[in-house]
Amino acid sequence: MKHKHIVIGAIVLTSTLALPPLAAAQTQAASTTAANPLAQADKDFVQAASMSSSTEIDAAKLATANSEDKDVKSFARHMMLDHTKLTVQLKMAAPHGVSVPKDNSDTPLLGSLKGLKGKAFDQAYISKVGVEGHKQAVAAFEKEISDGQDAKLKKAAQDALPTIRKHYQMAQDLAAAKGVSQ
C-alpha cells in the first residue's frame, strides 16, 4: 500500500511539472514583451498598436449595437475588418518569443461609450475612437518607423501607416459630416 502511494505521488508530481501552471502561462502571455530583448521603442509600438486595434475592434462592435446611423455603422464595420487584418500583420511581424497581446482594449474609453446610444454614442465614438484614436495611432506608427530597432516591426509599421492615415482621414470626414467637433 505504501509503495502504491509513492508511485501515485510520483505520477502526480511528474505530470504537474510537465505542464506549465495556467497562471504562469497567462502572466507570460499578458506581459507582452517584458522578457524579450526588444528595444523600448519596439516594445512601446507592439503595446500601442495592439491596444489601438483591440480598442477599434471592440468599439466598432459597440457601434453596431449602439448607433442608429448607417454611416457610423459602415465606418465601424470598416474599422473592424481593417484592424483585425492589422492585428494579424502585427503578430506575423513580431519577433519569435514576443507575444502580441490580444483583448487589451482601452477599457476606460470603452466604458465611457457603453452607456451611450444613438446620437450621443455617435458623437463620442467618432470623436474619441475615430478621430483621437487614429491620431494617436498615426503617431505611434510614425514613432516606430523613426525610432524602432526591429526591422520586421518597422516594416509592418511602414506597411500599415497608409491604412491608419486613411482611417484618420475617414474619421475626420465623418466628424465633419456629422457635426462632431474635432
Q: Which three cell numbers stand for residue 15?
A: 505530470
* CATH code where residue 91 lies: 1.20.1260.10
In a domain, 11, yes or no: no
Q: How far apart are CA 44 and CA 157, in angstroms?
A: 13
Q: Write out the residue range of the structural domain in which residue 46 sits.
A: 34-178
- Please report, in tens digits, the pLDDT of each residue of the chain (182 residues total): 544 443 333 333 333 333 333 333 333 333 444 555 799 999 999 999 999 999 999 999 999 999 999 999 999 999 999 999 999 999 999 998 888 887 899 999 999 999 999 999 999 999 999 999 999 999 999 999 999 999 999 999 999 999 999 999 999 999 999 999 88
In a domain, 105, yes or no: yes
Q: How many Cβ atoms sit within 10 Å of the Cβ of residue 178?
A: 16
Q: Which three cell numbers stand for residue 97?
A: 518569443
Number of domains in the chain: 1
Q: Which three cell numbers stand for residue 129?
A: 475612437
In a domain, 73, yes or no: yes
In a domain, 5, yes or no: no
Burial class (CB in 10 A: 0-12, 13-18, 19+), 111: exposed
In a domain, 149, yes or no: yes
Q: How far apart are CA 58 and CA 22, in angstroms?
A: 26
In a domain, 162, yes or no: yes
pTM for the model stands at 0.79
